[in-house]
């Protein structure tokens, strides 16, 4: 499991290594490297999703590793509380930025292996701290550094860490 300590509170994510092996491992590696420490949720849209994992507090984009293949065809769907990878128009272009769905975003799901139909790869879900997610999704937003929907008061991931699941 992954623990995101934010200035809004803690969010625990459970990754699906079985259905989204490459995406889950990629995310875990960024966590272990400390990539997400000090990174913000820079795009917050209520009724849609909260996106982060790419920019620091000064809205500077961090250099990432190589892009990964899109595992959106794994049957997982973009339901409320799931975590998926953000990307460019190219389906196989995700690197570090991810988002948490705060609505059942069916239109982000995989429908076909085409540019329009690939969808967004879900690779985990929020298992604790959905109240924190709800607090973040309601954050007041503005336009900053050419980006829309940026929270007025920064939403910072102070640290991201891998926590071993309890044996109980």
Partner 1 sequence: MDYLISDLHLEENRPDITGAFFSFLDQIESQASRLYILGDFFESWIGDDENTPLQQEVKARLTQLSERGIQLYFMHGNRDFLVSEGFEQETGAKILPDPSVVELAGQKVLLMHGDSLCTKDTSYMKFRAMIRNPAFLKTFLARPIEDRITTARQLREMSQANNSEKSMEIMDVTPEEVSKEMLAHDVKVMIHGHTHRPMIHKLVLNNEPAQRIVLGDWDQKIWFITASENSGIQLHEQPFPAPTTS
- In the complex, what is the shortest distance from the CB of residue 94 to partner 1, in angstroms, rounded to a whole number? 8
3-state SS class at 74: helix
Nearer to partner 1, 6 or 95 (CB): 95
Select 22 or 161, whichever has its Cβ closest to partner 1.
22
User: Which lies closer to partner 1 via its Cβ, residue 84 or residue 126?
Assistant: 84
Contacts with 102 (C-beta within 8 Å, 6 or more apart), sequence order: 46, 47, 48, 49, 50, 80, 81, 133, 134, 137
Smallest gap from residue 48 Cβ to partner 1 (A): 6
Tokens of 74: 């794994």
Q: With residue 41 as reference, give the H or E element that holds it.
A: strand 39-45
Which chain residues interact with partner 1 by CB under 8 A?
43, 45-49, 51, 54, 61, 84-89, 93-95, 97, 99, 105-109, 111, 116, 120
Shortest Å distance, C-beta 108 to partner 1:
7
**Phi first, then psi: what are they for 28, rounded to 5°?**
-60, -40
């Amino acid at each position: 499991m992954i623990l995101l300590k934010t200035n809004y509170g803690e969010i625990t994510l459970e990754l699906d290594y079985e259905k989204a092996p490459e995406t889950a491992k990629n995310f875990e590696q960024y966590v272990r490297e400390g990539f997400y420490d000090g990174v913000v949720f820079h795009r917050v849209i209520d009724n849609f999703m909260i996106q982060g994992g790419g920019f620091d507090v000064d809205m500077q984009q961090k250099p990432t590793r190589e892009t990964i293949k899109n595992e959106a065809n794994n049957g997982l769907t973009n339901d409320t509380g799931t975590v998926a990878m953000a990307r460019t128009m190219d389906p196989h272009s995700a690197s570090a930025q991810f988002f948490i769905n705060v609505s059942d975003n069916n239109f982000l799901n995989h429908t076909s292996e085409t540019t329009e139909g690939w969808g967004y790869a879900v690779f985990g879900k929020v298992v604790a701290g959905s109240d924190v997610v709800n607090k973040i999704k309601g954050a007041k937003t503005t336009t900053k550094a050419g980006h829309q929907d940026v929270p007025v008061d920064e939403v910072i991931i102070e640290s991201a860490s891998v926590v071993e699941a309890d044996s109980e």
